[in-house]
Amino acid sequence: MPVNPAPRAYQIVLQAIEEDLRKEKLSVGDQLPGERALAEQHGISRASVRDAIRILDVMGIIKTSTGSGPNSGAVIISNPSAGISQALRLHLAAKGINVREIVESRILLETWAAQMTPRDPIHAQQVIDRTAVLIMRMDDAQLSREAFHRIDAEFHVLLASMAGNAVVESMMESLRNSISDYVSESVPSDEAWQPVVRILRRQHKAIHHAFATNQRERAAQLLEEHINWFYSQTR
């Protein structure tokens, strides 16, 4: 384990907020104390408090609104995939992570989620209904490739959400977001895209049918084939 240097001023605020969240002194929906109050409380500059607030914002822990008045400021939210996704995207760009690793991880997470008994049958049924709508939208021949990829990502993330595990779901969503540019650029031309999209539509329908008829092993197997096939088409 590396020895950590002395914490920077903004890390003092991050640690204190983490502690307050753990002790439930702060909860989702609460207003974060103001800049001045946090600076005085921790004996650090307002600039360091602002650093901490930016970081919490990027990590999906708070939502900041601009403007002034009593309702301005930061509110605690918890959007795990936003923060994780941003970090994964940057590391993928820096080649700390390669595409084979992303493919393996997607297959791991998606096939696991497919095989789990849904924790909430009502949510599971909503996912089946919602993904049926997405499949119809992906059938639209006028749909741009960019829009197709966005709906495709939503389709996969929704199916994974059935398992009811926010960690797995965030990792999934983060992976999808982190590779969206790669996916968009992966098929070189619109001509090359046409035969690919026809097969993707067919695969999505077969996957959806397996989920809808509760053939979970089959769904996992189709997902694995679908993900491997798609990456095999991209250089």
How many chain residues bind a copy of itself (CB under 8 A)? 55
Question: Per CB under 8 A, does 221 bind a copy of itself?
Answer: no
**Sign of the alpha-carbon torsion through 15, 20, 23, 28:** negative
Q: Which of 36, 72, 96, 199 binds a copy of itself (CB under 8 A)?
A: 96
Question: Per CB under 8 A, does 208 bind a copy of itself?
Answer: no
| Cα–Cα dist 179/175, whole Å | 6
Phi, psi torsion values for 69, nearest 5 degrees = 100, 175
Give the interface segment with a copy of itself, choosing from 32-40, 54-62, 190-198, 200-208 (CB under 8 A). 54-62
Question: Per CB under 8 A, does 79 bind a copy of itself?
Answer: yes
**Sign of the alpha-carbon torsion through 191, 132, 147, 88:** negative
Question: Per CB under 8 A, does 80 bind a copy of itself?
Answer: yes
The angle subtended at Cα 213 by Cα 208 and Cα 218, nearest 5°, is 70
Phi, psi torsion values for 64, nearest 5 degrees = -105, 145
Question: Per CB under 8 A, does 148 bind a copy of itself?
Answer: no
Q: Which of 12, 97, 127, 200 binds a copy of itself (CB under 8 A)?
A: 97
Binding characters for a copy of itself, 22-51, by CB under 8 A (x = yes): x----xx------------------x--xx
Q: What is the DSSP string of 121-157?
A: HHHHHHHHHHHHHHHHHHT-TT--HHHHHHHHHHHHH
Contact 156, 110 (CB under 8 A): yes
Q: Which of 14, 114, 159, 197 binds a copy of itself (CB under 8 A)?
A: 14
Type of residue numbered 233: Q
Question: Per CB under 8 A, does 156 bind a copy of itself?
Answer: no
Close Cβ partners of 217 (under 8 Å, ≥ 6 residues apart): 115
Type of residue numbered 140: D
> Between 8 and 198, whose beta carbon lies closer to a copy of itself?
8
> Between 158 and 198, whose beta carbon lies closer to a copy of itself?
158
Which residues contribute to the site for a copy of itself (CB under 8 A)? Answer: 1, 10, 14, 17-19, 21-22, 27-28, 47, 50-51, 54-56, 58-61, 76, 78-80, 83-84, 86-91, 93-98, 101-102, 104-105, 108-109, 112, 150, 154, 165-168, 170-171, 175, 181
